[in-house]
Structure 1
């Protein structure tokens, strides 16, 4: 049996606008005390039927997660995270075709000075609309871990590389390993050891879920091992990452790519970089248009930006 989970998605956008700086002060949330004992059926039926409205169903999922002590902590942290964006947690969660944490990176620049760039991110958690209540609860736990802890990456920065992307996505803070462990721990508190997934049982070491075993599980590549090794040599992926990989069959498969996570992450990286370079090509047009009306020092900066663009994006725009 394979455990299929979609990688967090990342949408790239460009806004050509005049920038306005502002500060947002996040409100604080108090501790909510003991475990909530939910009367909701936490197993069967489609989760969207927990209430007559979708918002009500989302509230019921949150209530079920809060029947766990660790779940209460997770929900409280998620509320704090949402409050930083002046949102309620319930407004951050929605139904979708797959369970995923979707982050949009918006790049802002003024056409009159396209060399000056600002970024902002927006995140949304989607829960598979076809899921049973139990699977929706487990997915919510998993996705909220990404939402709370995973720092959004910025592929426009020069230090964005396949090695850092692969490491951050799988074993980084708030990455797939962390989300899997939190899902297993809270899932056991809610549903009991006998009702958790075989994948969680695979990483159980005594009474604790093992991060080391989880990491090994994510880097089991099966028939994709040779493909991964080829990509390692081609892309120069760091040895520290490669040493985790093995040719054993894995039960952890990316639903988006139907492949083990390391292979899926590499393909996702190439998709992201293609989009980044297409967007950068648009910005280069504005830079060149501004070059003729700029002073010499600015023109020199434009030339430097163009040189870096060509070095980084040549292989993604062929």
Structure 2
């Protein structure tokens, strides 16, 4: 495990040798740009990063990254974050020799910065974990602006890795097969199911309480169904917590619907549950649904992109058409 900023520090002060060697003494900082100075454990500056407020494309700035010497003076600069990351990657791979190097990008921003890195030893793979379009999240919906430029670079990667075949196929149908699109689902380790913990009538929602998860849909559906002997526990935290509690109070459902908070044992929650409900607006790959099935807990979910239909195609749950009124059902398909 290696970290750029840990390796950017010289133990005697200032920037590490590789960072100084990569810097250009002829590049000067714009006096009107704010900088965040990075210091070592002794409080000595070794680099300074330009602050680009309010710009989602901050990583593409051409403003220089400043590099300090042991005396605390600016010794040079790199050409933006692109220059910084490129210098570090070349430093990391310098000792590898002629061996093949596989670089896996987990971040769109980093991917955009290294997509044109040309080294015959290097193969760059870019993984995707989320939705690439905006609401209503159909294959032909408006592109998420954060991904528009990335798609123009997709064919520069040696492989683009999607978590589901459905998303991969939608992307290829829309943008063509010029990039090397492959599917590698996110892995989840097998578990030993505790059927002895199962509680009849316990319905759960498990995940972050964020707008895109639409937990209010699950609450309203549960209350409207009014199935005797059932109760709903909502596990997780997030910005929607206060609004959801207000909704529960307004519905007079506090005796049957509970915001249970964060859990560090989601497996135990799934073992206790008789049913998992997810009312999310979109997914990349629904790890919570996969985990639920591994614990033998059936699922009711909106039929949304991506991944939930892929996971449930062999059984284990019920899909409800998105944006329609929910009708409460008891799943009869096997888990």
Shorter-normalised TM-score: what interval? under 0.3
Give the structure with higher Rg (CA): 2
Greater helix content = 1
Higher relative contact order (CA 8 A, sep 6+): 1
Task: Provide the TM-score with structure 2 as the length reference.
Answer: 0.26
